Amino acid sequence: MSQKSQGKQKKTAIRFLREANFPKWYQEVITEADMAENSGVRGCMVIKPWGYGIWENLKARLDQRIKETGHENCYFPLFIPLELIEKEAAHVEGFAKEMAVVTHHRLVSKDGKLEPAGELESPLVIRPTSETMIGESFAKWIQSYRDLPVMINQWANVVRWEMRPRMFLRTSEFLWQEGHTAHATEDEARVETAAMLEEYRALAEDWLAIPVIPGEKSAAERFPGAVETHTIEAMMQDGKALQAGTSHYLGQNFSKAADIKFQNKDGGESFVETTSWGVSTRMIGAIIMTHGDDDGLRVPPTVAPRQVVILPIARDDEATARVLPAADELVKKLNACQAFGNPIRAIADKRDMNAGEKRWSWIKKGAPLIVELGPRDLDQGTVMVTERTDIYGKSSHNTDEFVAQIAQQLQGIQDRLFNEAKAYQDERLRTDIVDLDGLKKFFKKDKYANGGFVRGYWDESEDSEAALKPLGISIRCLPYDQPTEPGTCILTGNPATKQAIFAKAY
């Protein structure tokens, strides 16, 4: 478990160090944590139990909040008629290169080989997003202002044919939730857009320990067909930005395309105002790249499939006969406790393997607490505890006290992960770059070196934003906390009233 980096020998569980080769480090963390693997279809992945367990816990929290804020779950078809998507021209243009299309409905055997047959009269698009399909249903459901608002959500898979796939970040198929709402007024729709972005901010920061910058996207970065797109942007440990969640104010663009009208209170006819919003399994990639270290994954206790792992340590049959029942009893006591509003998720790892190898397997998975329990510990009424945030800091705890304080200990780990990530972001958020030359120099670093964000004034012109594209830089958002004084655009030198976040991004 060693790797040379910049002439120094550093003992780690992951062969590729973050500062040496961040992309390979990322892939190996996924492999060593046994989270996912590539499937036989290019760009698609098999999400294994540890990775899917993280998604389930994330999903459970967000689903609870979605329902508490007045939304209901439903489900829409995977296949969308092409002519339905074509109704919204800007939407089609934005997704056209990523769409997977079904053109045949059966296979026939010919000379021992299967070939497509039964060509469809009209091609079907495999769901890249559901605005058009849901818009068609809204047009049937909504007749009067009394039918509004309509506030729905679906958990589903979507397909966007990625050219350069990477597990949990950009895959041809991924899992997500997509919320869709219809309102009688613009004000109501805008309130909904802002409220759901705040839910995503809370999910990222309070639940996943990922600090984010909320703001509005520039026109060039908007969701296709949206009037406004609002986002939370997170900084990964290579300094790049990750769009972690978006909420879109769609205005009447989709309602006019789908003819979603209603009789208003004055007896007239109006088009509804719509929104859509979503997060995906990309959030698991964010967890890896925000919290992982050179020994593997570190999972926030809120979403860890197993928050506490008990490792029974026994060298002979007599010791085993004592330790295994004690481990089971400790798991039972822990699972009767609560943390973060839910029962503790503890397990005893009874696999027949070397104790050191077993311990490192859980370190690489990122289990928040690893507890060793042997005959001597039983005699003393103690347990030996390793926190994943400090794997070389083993400490002995009285067993009853450990159980009684488990919620506080897990909360402490959660807080440390957030504080570490926030300090990292604050350190690499530059506000002292004032012109284009300075911007170019800052981002012209080794591709694996820690970069960061630049915050500076921008004149909001399309031409200045387009000039960033050849540099591999984009405007991630216009943060909500804007200055009160005007300034000078760092791209053009023109007067500017707003500041933007500039970064390289995933």
Decide: pTM greater than 0.85.
Answer: yes
Pairing of strands 212-216, 228-235: antiparallel
CA distance 461 to 442: 22
Q: Any idea which of 89-93, 376-380, 447-451 has the lowest mean pLDDT?
A: 447-451
For every residue of 187-211, DSSP letters joined together read: HHHHHHHHHHHHHHHHIIIIIS---
pLDDT at 162: 87
Strand-pairing partners, residue 347, are 309
**DSSP strand pairing (474-479 vs 453-458):** unpaired
For residue 179, give the nearest of 131, 144, 133 by alpha carbon: 131
Mean pLDDT confidence for 61-73: 98
Question: Burial letters for 259-286: b for 16+ Cβ neighbours within 10 Å, e otherwise?
Answer: ebebeeeeeeebbbbbbbbbbbbbbbbb
Q: Which two tokens stand for residue 217?
A: 């996207």
Averaged pLDDT, 126-141: 95
DSSP 8-state assignment for residue 144: B
What is the structure's pLDDT at 386? 97
pLDDT of 8: 42
Q: DSSP letter for 170, please.
A: B
What confidence score (pLDDT) does residue 87 get?
A: 79
CA distances from 321 to 19, 327, 353, 398, 446 (A): 46, 11, 17, 22, 56
What one-character-per-residue DSSP string does 41-85 give?
STT-EEEPHHHHHHHHHHHHHHHHHHHHTT-EE----SEEEHHHH
Strands (E), 374-427: 382-387, 390-398
pLDDT at 4: 34
CB 304 within 8 A of CB 314: no
Interatomic CA distance for residues 370 and 404, integer angstroms = 17
**What is the per-residue pLDDT for 392?**
87
**Matching residue, tokens 């689903």:** 63
Report, as an integer, the average pLDDT of 2-17.
Answer: 62
- Between CA 75 and CA 427 the distance in angstroms is 43
| C-alpha–C-alpha distance, residues 285 and 248, integer Å | 22
370 Cβ contact list (under 8 Å, min separation 6): 309, 311, 359, 362, 363, 385, 386, 388
Write the pLDDT tens digit of every residue in 325-373. 999 999 999 999 999 999 999 999 999 999 999 999 999 999 999 999 9
Q: Choose among 248, 255, 249, 216: nearest CA to 232.
A: 216
Paired residues of 110 in beta bridges: 113
CB neighbour list of residue 420: distance below 8 Å, 6 or more residues apart: 291, 389
CB-based burial label for 50 (10 Å; 0-12, 13-18, 19+)? buried
Residue type, 25: W
Q: Is the CB of residue 117 less than 8 Å from the CB of residue 107?
A: yes
For 169-208, write each residue's pLDDT tens digit: 999 999 999 999 999 999 999 999 999 999 999 999 999 9
Strand partners, 124: 81, 102
CB atoms within 10 A of CB 73: 13
What does each C-alpha distance from 228 to 17, 93, 188, 217, 324 come to in angstroms? 39, 17, 15, 7, 58
Task: Identify the band that residue 319 occupies on the pLDDT scale cut at 50, 70 and 90.
Answer: confident
How far are the Cα atoms of 181, 188, 189 from residue 63, in angstroms, in the given order? Answer: 16, 22, 20
Overall average pLDDT of the 367-390 stretch: 97
DSSP string, 270-316: EEPEEEEEEEETHHHHHHHHHH-BTTB----TTT-S-SEEEEE--SS
Report the phi/psi class of residue 43: left, alpha or beta, with left for phi > 0 and alpha for psi in -120 to 50: left
Cis peptide before 214 (omega within 30 of 0): no
Helices (H) and strands (E) in the chain, counts: 15, 29
